[in-house]
């Protein structure tokens, strides 16, 4: 029998929520966003910014919505004059020392201070005559810069490092209006998950050095994707500007990564913009690879597949989509099939404050998906078997040290000069994760979809399309839509 | 930040024993932080970043955390101060009884010149502080741990002589 | 007694009886004067019985809030499932207040005894006495007294621990005090949870002021009815209070009077009034965080919780600051604003920024660069700083500003119009 729901009214809208829900969350159900800074659903409640003050009937004073639990029959007014005046005054107080850095501040366009001041703030300041508090910029560590002048002391960063990362390396130093976020001089913000403080910072006080002055928030297109850094499968947003991926940020997913991604995943996007891509299908003619069109490339591959029999080996990347991996297997269904992949391994780095969340040792997004489809990790054996196989299909694994007496078909994004795959009969250019739609299966067996953020270069197409066309021609799958 | 001398731990021998006695009075190690910082200041005269790291190690908390606490409380010194550290209350009840005159007299007669600066002979640092809780005995001043009441500008000369 | 002056006839001397008597500080001296009898008595009573007596007496918190003590003790869980703690607030930092210091200096055992009785009443095994870092003399005296009392084993299973503060007015706020004992920055906590549910180290806790606890042994020995009978005006304000009178008076000191005593008599009769040739201009009756009273209001104020509210201020901690007509009210209000700006813990936006901004505006007015709109601005800022923060430090900064502008507007105007020359540099 589920708990009895609590009924309350927020700005005239009746809502029913579970007991223990905070007013600020209940308000969301009524379609009301109560302005706030220090509150964050992924962090313990602080109640310090005082931005979320709302009027609650029968309460003698305004209450902060982030620390007030709903009660039956509560009537909440977020837009009453006292509540709005109180919030307006908080914004005024924040702006007396906060510099007008918007023209040079990375946060502009995605800044919660800008947003709420536009929505509820004063149109001019009454703090005309004084100098603002000044402190120089500090370098906190590998990727994080701290601009104390812009800091509104919401303490989200401190609480994140204390409670979620559980490495209390940030503090609030001093008292009163002299306060700032400090770090012990011998410490660095190099925790594997520390980059999240940049996302958590509501203003442009904590900045990513990687993203510094790179792009304006309003120039960015945002696409939902899945991180390819490891097998955890965190939900991310790829931010692109002029079809170049410039930033990776976490996307809320309460079942996997909540609100966070690790620094490894955060930095793991430059390869998506590589210029040295295979841009056209290649077929071997007179001992050399020549560019051609898809029709000829397909015809060559089909010729190889129809004309061969016996063993086939598929050596695949654990970063290929589930769809592509499935089609690769089907494509070779007429053969005695071996499929294998190898995964780069690294150090695991958990985020202690979130259950079952870590930078995983397996540094690939779809190892589980490959396993589920019958691929093994017995890579060395498969490479050996390839030597005598009739057909070898290598899927986006450019470093594969394959040598075969049979026909080598390579489908990949790049084809570096010294790689063994240059011996292929056919080279099929495919899209990378940012250029296609697909599915990854994470280490817990969760299938998650990612979407296309930018166009693929030249004639490259998604692997699922390429293999799908081939499989359809062979009659082992339906034609891709 | 390079340290050329080897660091001499504060919490060793008798001082460590004292800390252990203090730890027994609280259910958590962290609660011994303020008393531990007082011990460091008693032994070394001030609390350096390296001292903070040592306190953190001994109590199982991070140096950043210790620093956050040290910078919050005004009585912990983060820099060396003069041999006589003088705190003069100048909040309103003492202010209307001539506290600022006491500060002026002290600065002049010790050579410290500015509040917060140490005198050239290294013997005096004078600062203005907030209410010392002896308002009826204006103006109270603390010279290190000596709490002296009813100080007026004309009594400053004798005081300075006594402590010099 | 009006220590350091001689006792005045109109005082009701209970807590201050042994002020100035060095022998009373020793364990032997204290027991000779009837000390620790109340504690033995309390140990023979159940915790609930002790709470009932204190409730009946009408004792209210003497730290400033005036919350009924017996009621506060009754909030603690009756059934003991977790460790209980008692915290004694000896962080006395409210400008104008210096009573707890005298209690600790002269009657340390009285405080220890009151602490132990309270610990017994709330079923606490440990009591932490939080003494501000600047109280070096009271600390040494309390240490010695505690050692003697422990050697005589008077406290039974109750352990009393002295904890030294390190310079923060805000640690006098009950939740900030708990954070400070826990070894953290002295930041006040949001409530709920309340200390009686989850306080020190997350356990049920009660926090009491020094003066409050020192009254408890007397109440047990002489009875709740006796204490309740000590009342001159409102039956909700009973007992005696130590008033720390300071500023422009002939005889500053701690005077102990019955609740409801006229402030006028305290100032003119007991303290000898303002210095010769001057007149009373203003008075703050309860420490700097309460509104300022002008002369007319001061002379009709009755010193109890309700009486001070009726006069337009609050009893607060009972720190009576007297300003005569030589006082520059604008300068003193600036100095108070500066005090709050220095002591703000920095959590709440209104307090962190507002106290500093208020100070800056006041300094600018004193530097001769004020405008008439500044007064409206100060009043508006003060309203924005009131009732919207975790603790009341923000409201405390606003109180002298609002009452000062209301009652001494002409002094502000003198600076703004240039009728008075600037006393500060911008």
3-state DSSP call for residue C280? Answer: strand
Contacts of B91 in chain C (CB under 8 A): 95, 288, 335-336, 339
In whole angstroms, give the CA distance from residue C135 to residue C17. 22
Region B43-51 average pLDDT: 94
Phi-psi sector, A470: left (phi>0), alpha (psi -120 to 50), beta: alpha
Contact C390 A48 (CB under 8 A): yes
Region B11-36 average pLDDT: 96
What are the extents of the domains in chain A? Answer: 6-79, 282-474
HEC string for A411-445: EECCCCCCCHHHHCCEEEEECCHHHCCEEEECCCC
Determine how many CB atoms are found less than 10 A away from the CB of residue A14: 10
If you classify domain B13-72 with CATH, what class do you get? mainly alpha
Contact C352 A67 (CB under 8 A): no
pLDDT of A303 reads 96
Region C397-423 average pLDDT: 97
Per-residue pLDDT of chain A (481 residues; tens, 9 = 90+): 456 899 999 999 999 999 999 999 999 999 999 999 999 999 999 999 999 999 999 999 999 999 999 999 999 999 999 999 999 999 999 999 999 999 999 999 999 999 999 999 999 889 977 889 899 999 999 999 999 999 999 999 999 999 999 999 999 999 999 999 999 888 899 999 999 999 999 999 999 999 999 999 999 999 999 999 999 999 999 999 999 999 999 999 999 999 999 999 999 999 999 999 999 999 999 999 999 999 999 999 999 999 999 999 999 999 999 999 999 999 999 999 999 999 999 999 999 999 999 999 999 999 999 999 999 999 999 999 999 999 999 999 998 999 999 999 999 999 999 899 999 999 999 999 999 999 999 999 999 999 999 999 999 999 999 999 999 999 988 766 6
The chain C residue lying nearest B89, using CA atoms, is: C95
What are the extents of the domains in chain C? Answer: 34-229, 260-324, 329-417
Contacts of A50 in chain C (CB under 8 A): 348-350, 388-389
pLDDT tens per residue, range C115-145: 999 999 999 999 999 999 999 999 999 999 9
Region C54-66 average pLDDT: 95
- Check pLDDT > 70 for residue B2: no
Contacts of C185 in chain A (CB under 8 A): 172
In whole angstroms, give the CA distance from residue C219 to residue C56. 10
| Full-model pTM | 0.94
Contacts of B92 in chain C (CB under 8 A): 95-96, 247, 288, 321, 332, 335-336, 339
Q: Measured between CA atoms, how close is A279 to chain B, in angstroms?
A: 52
A286 touches chain B (CB under 8 A): no
Contacts (Cβ under 8 Å, ≥6 apart) of B14 = none
In whole angstroms, give the CA distance from residue A158 to residue C162. 31
Share of chain C above pLDDT 70, in %: 100
Contacts of C390 in chain A (CB under 8 A): 47-48
Select from A59, A88, A93 the residue whose CB has the most chain C CBs within 10 Å, as the one to mutate to test that interface: A93
Contacts (Cβ under 8 Å, ≥6 apart) of C370 = C361, C364, C412, C415, C416
Contacts of C358 in chain A (CB under 8 A): none
Contact A179 C364 (CB under 8 A): no
pLDDT of A480 reads 67
The chain C residue lying nearest B88, using CA atoms, is: C134
Report the CATH fold assignment for C260-324.
Ubiquitin-like (UB roll) (3.10.20)
pLDDT tens per residue, range C317-333: 999 999 999 999 999 99
Query: Interhelix angle for A463-474 vs A294-307, to 10°?
Result: 50
3-state DSSP call for residue C315? Answer: coil
Q: Measured between CA atoms, how close is C408 to chain A, in angstroms?
A: 24
pLDDT of C338 reads 97
Chains that touch C (3 or more CB pairs under 8 A): A, B
Burial per residue of A93-111, b for 16 or more beta-carbon CB atoms within 10 angstroms, e otherwise: bbbbbbeebeeebbbbebb
Is CATH 1.10.472.50 correct for C34-229? no
Share of chain C above pLDDT 90, in %: 98
Q: ipTM of the assembly?
A: 0.94
Q: Measured between CA atoms, how close is B99 to chain C, in angstroms?
A: 11
Q: Measured between CA atoms, how close is C377 to chain A, in angstroms?
A: 8
In whole angstroms, give the CA distance from residue C231 to residue B8. 61
What are the extents of the domains in chain B? Answer: 13-72, 84-163
Burial class (CB in 10 A: 0-12, 13-18, 19+), B6: exposed
pLDDT of A184 reads 85
Residue with tokens 């962090």: A43
- Check pLDDT > 90 for residue B85: yes
HEC string for chain A: CCCCCEEEEECCEEEEECCCCEHHHHHHHCCCCCCCCCCCCCCCCCCCCCCCEEEECCCCCCEECCCCECCCCCEEECCCHHHHHHHHHHHHHHHHHCCCCHHHCCCCCCCHHHHHHHHHCCCCCCCCCCCCCCCCCEECCCCEEECHHHCCCCCHHHHHHHHHCCCCCEEEECCHHHCEEEECCCCCCCCCCCCHHHHHCCCCCEEECCCCCCCCHHHCEEEEEECCCCCCCCEEEEEEECCEEEEEEECCECCCCECCCCHHHHCCCHHHHCCCCCCCCEEEECCEEEECCHHHHHHHHHHHHHHCCCEEEEEECCCCCHHHHHHHHHHCCCCEEEEEECCCECCCEECCCCCCCEECCECCCCHHHHHHCCCECCHHHHHHHHCCCCEEEEECCCCCCCCCCCEEEEEECCCCCCCHHHHCCEEEEECCHHHCCEEEECCCCCEEEECCCCCCCCCCECHHHHHHHHHHHHCCCCCCC
The chain A residue lying nearest C369, using CA atoms, is: A129
pLDDT tens per residue, range C202-231: 999 999 999 999 999 999 999 999 999 999
pLDDT of A27 reads 97
Contacts of B72 in chain A (CB under 8 A): 173-175
Region B48-70 average pLDDT: 95
In whole angstroms, give the CA distance from residue A232 to residue A365. 7
Contacts of C339 in chain B (CB under 8 A): 91-92, 130-131
Confidence grade of residue C426 (pLDDT, cut at 50, 70, 90): confident
Q: Measured between CA atoms, how close is C101 to chain B, in angstroms?
A: 7
Contact A61 C387 (CB under 8 A): yes
Confidence grade of residue C3 (pLDDT, cut at 50, 70, 90): confident
Q: Measured between CA atoms, how close is C179 to chain B, in angstroms?
A: 9
Contacts (Cβ under 8 Å, ≥6 apart) of A124 = none
> For domain C329-417, which architecture applies?
Up-down Bundle (1.20)
Q: What is the DSSP letter of C269?
A: I
pLDDT of C50 reads 97
Contact B68 A186 (CB under 8 A): no
Contact C346 A89 (CB under 8 A): no
Largest alpha-carbon pair distance within chain C? 69
Determine how many CB atoms are found less than 10 A away from the CB of residue B148: 17
- Using CA atoms, how far residue B72 sits from A170, A255, B68, C356, in Å, is 14, 39, 6, 17
Q: Which residues of B touch C (CB under 8 A)?
A: 25-28, 30-35, 37-38, 59, 61, 68-69, 72-76, 87, 90-93, 95-97, 129-138, 142, 145-147
Q: Measured between CA atoms, how close is B49 to chain A, in angstroms?
A: 8
Region C336-359 average pLDDT: 97
- From the list C185, C352, C364, the residue facing A177 with the nearest CB is C352
A166 touches chain B (CB under 8 A): no
β-strand pairing of A180-183 with A447-450: unpaired
The chain B residue lying nearest C325, using CA atoms, is: B96
Region C69-84 average pLDDT: 96
Q: Which CATH number fits domain A6-79: 3.40.50.720, 3.40.190.10, 3.10.20.740, 3.20.20.70?
A: 3.10.20.740
Q: Which two tokens stand for residue A281?
A: 């299908």
- Check pLDDT > 90 for residue B133: yes
Report the CATH fold assignment for B84-163.
Glutaredoxin (3.40.30)
Q: Which two tokens stand for residue A277?
A: 């891509």
The chain C residue lying nearest A153, using CA atoms, is: C347
Give long-range contacts, CB 8 A cutoff, 24+ apart: B115-119: B118/B80, B118/B81, B118/B82, B119/B82
- Check pLDDT > 80 for residue C1: no
Burial class (CB in 10 A: 0-12, 13-18, 19+), C425: exposed
Cα A17 to chain center, whole Å?
Answer: 30
pLDDT of B4 reads 56
Contacts of A141 in chain B (CB under 8 A): none
Contact C95 B25 (CB under 8 A): no
pLDDT of A1 reads 47
> For domain A282-474, which architecture applies?
3-Layer(aba) Sandwich (3.40)
Q: Measured between CA atoms, how close is B12 to chain C, in angstroms?
A: 21
């Amino acid at each position: 029998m589920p708990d009895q729901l609590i009924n309350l009214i927020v700005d005239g809208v009746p809502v029913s929520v579970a007991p223990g829900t905070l007013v600020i969350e209940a308000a969301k159900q009524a379609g009301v966003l109560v302005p706030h800074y220090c509150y964050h659903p992924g962090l313990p409640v602080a109640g310090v910014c005082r931005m979320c003050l709302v009027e609650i009937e029968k309460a003698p004073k305004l209450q902060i919505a982030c620390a007030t639990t709903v009660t039956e029959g509560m009537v909440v007014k977020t837009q009453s004059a006292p509540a709005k005046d109180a919030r307006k005054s908080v914004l005024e107080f924040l702006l007396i020392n906060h510099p007008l850095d918007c023209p040079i501040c990375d946060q502009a366009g995605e800044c919660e201070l800008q947003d709420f001041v536009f929505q509820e703030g004063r149109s001019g300041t009454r703090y005309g005559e004084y100098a603002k508090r000044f402190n120089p910029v500090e370098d906190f560590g590998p990727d994080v810069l701290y601009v104390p002048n812009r800091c509104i002391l919401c303490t989200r960063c401190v609480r994140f490092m204390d409670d979620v990362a559980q490495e209390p390396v940030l503090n609030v130093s001093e008292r009163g209006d002299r306060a700032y976020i400090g770090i012990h001089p011998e410490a660095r913000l190099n925790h594997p998950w520390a980059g999240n403080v940049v996302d958590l910072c509501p203003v442009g006080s904590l900045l990513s050095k990687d993203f510094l002055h790179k792009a304006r928030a309003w120039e960015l297109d945002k696409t939902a994707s899945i991180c390819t850094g490891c097998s955890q499968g965190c939900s991310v947003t790829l931010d692109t500007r002029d079809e170049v991926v410039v930033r990776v940020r976490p996307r809320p997913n309460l079942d996997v990564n909540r609100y966070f991604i690790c620094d490894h995943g955060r930095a793991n996007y430059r390869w998506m913009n590589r210029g040295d891509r295979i841009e056209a299908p290649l077929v071997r003619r007179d001992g050399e690879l020549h560019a051609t069109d898809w029709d000829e490339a397909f015809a060559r591959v089909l010729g190889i597949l129809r004309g061969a029999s016996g063993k086939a080996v598929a050596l695949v990347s654990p970063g290929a989509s589930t769809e592509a991996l499935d089609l690769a297997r089907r494509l070779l269904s007429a053969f005695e099939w071996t499929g294998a992949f190898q995964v780069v391994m690294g150090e695991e780095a958990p985020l202690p404050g979130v259950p079952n969340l870590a930078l995983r040792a397996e540094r690939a997004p779809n190892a589980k998906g490959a396993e589920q489809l019958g691929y093994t990790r017995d890579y060395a054996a498969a490479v050996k078997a390839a030597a005598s196989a009739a057909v070898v299909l290598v899927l986006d694994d450019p470093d594969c040290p394959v040598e075969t007496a049979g026909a080598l078909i390579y489908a990949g994004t790049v084809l570096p000069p010294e790689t063994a795959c240059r011996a292929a009969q056919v080279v099929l250019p495919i899209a990378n994760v940012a250029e296609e739609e697909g599915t990854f299966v994470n280490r817990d067996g969760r299938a998650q979809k990612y979407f296309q953020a930018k166009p693929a270069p030249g004639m490259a197409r998604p692997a699922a399309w390429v293999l799908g066309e081939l499989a359809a021609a062979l009659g082992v799958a339906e034609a891709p839509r | 930040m390079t340290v050329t001398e080897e660091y001499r731990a504060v919490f060793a021998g008798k001082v460590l024993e004292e800390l252990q006695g203090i730890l027994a009075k609280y259910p958590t190690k962290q609660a011994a932080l303020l008393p531990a910082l007082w011990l460091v200041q008693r032994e070394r005269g001030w609390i350096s970043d390296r001292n903070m790291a040592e306190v953190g190690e001994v109590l199982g908390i991070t140096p950043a955390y210790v620093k956050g606490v040290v910078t919050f409380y005004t009585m912990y010194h983060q820099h060396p101060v003069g041999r006589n550290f003088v705190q003069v209350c100048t909040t309103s009840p003492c202010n209307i009884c001539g506290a600022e005159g006491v500060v002026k007299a002290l600065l002049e007669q010790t050579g410290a010149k500015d509040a917060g600066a140490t005198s050239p002979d290294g013997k005096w640092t004078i600062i203005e502080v907030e209410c010392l809780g002896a308002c009826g005995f204006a103006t109270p001043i603390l010279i290190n741990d000596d709490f002296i009441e009813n100080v007026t500008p004309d009594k400053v000369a004798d005081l300075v002589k006594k402590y010099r | 007694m009006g220590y350091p002056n001689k006792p005045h006839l109109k005082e009701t001397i209970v807590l201050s009886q042994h002020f100035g008597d060095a022998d009373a500080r020793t364990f032997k001296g204290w027991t000779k004067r009837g000390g620790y009898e109340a504690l033995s008595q309390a140990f023979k009573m159940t915790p609930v019985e002790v709470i009932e007596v204190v409730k009946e007496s009408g004792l209210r918190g003497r730290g400033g809030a005036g919350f009924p003590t017996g009621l506060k003790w009754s909030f603690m869980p009756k059934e003991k499932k977790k460790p209980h703690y008692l915290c004694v607030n000896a962080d006395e930092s409210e400008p104008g207040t210096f009573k707890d210091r005298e209690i600790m200096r002269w009657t340390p055992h009285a405080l220890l005894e009151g602490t132990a009785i309270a610990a017994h009443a709330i079923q606490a095994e440990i009591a932490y006495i939080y003494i501000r870092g600047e109280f070096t003399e009271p600390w040494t005296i309390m240490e010695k007294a505690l050692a003697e009392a422990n050697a005589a084993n008077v406290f039974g299973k109750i352990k009393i621990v002295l904890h030294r503060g390190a310079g923060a007015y805000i640690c006098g706020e009950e939740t900030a005090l708990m954070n400070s004992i826990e070894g953290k920055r002295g930041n006040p906590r949001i409530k709920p949870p309340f200390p009686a549910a989850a306080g020190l180290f997350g356990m049920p806790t009660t926090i009491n002021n020094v003066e409050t606890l020192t009254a408890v042994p007397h109440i047990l020995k002489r009875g709740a009815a006796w204490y309740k009978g000590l009342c001159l005006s409102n039956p909700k304000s009973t007992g005696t209070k130590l008033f720390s009178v300071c500023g422009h008076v002939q005889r500053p000191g701690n005077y102990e009077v019955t609740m409801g005593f006229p402030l006028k008599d305290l100032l003119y009769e007991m303290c000898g009034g303002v210095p010769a040739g001057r007149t009373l201009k203003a008075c703050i009756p309860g420490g700097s965080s309460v509104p300022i009273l002008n002369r007319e209001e001061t002379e009709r104020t009755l010193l109890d919780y309700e009486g001070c509210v009726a006069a337009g201020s609050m009893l607060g901690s009972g720190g009576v600051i007297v300003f005569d007509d030589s006082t520059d009210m604008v300068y003193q209000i600036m100095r108070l604003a500066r005090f709050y700006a220095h002591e703000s813990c920095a959590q709440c936006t209104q307090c962190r920024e507002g106290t500093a901004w208020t100070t800056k505006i006041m300094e600018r007015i004193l530097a001769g660069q004020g405008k008439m709109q500044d007064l409206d601005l100060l009043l508006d800022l003060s309203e924005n700083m009131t009732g919207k923060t975790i603790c009341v430090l923000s409201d405390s900064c606003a109180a002298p500003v609002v009452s000062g502008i209301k009652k001494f507007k002409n002094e502000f105007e003198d600076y703004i119009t240039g009728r008075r020359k600037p006393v500060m540099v911008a």
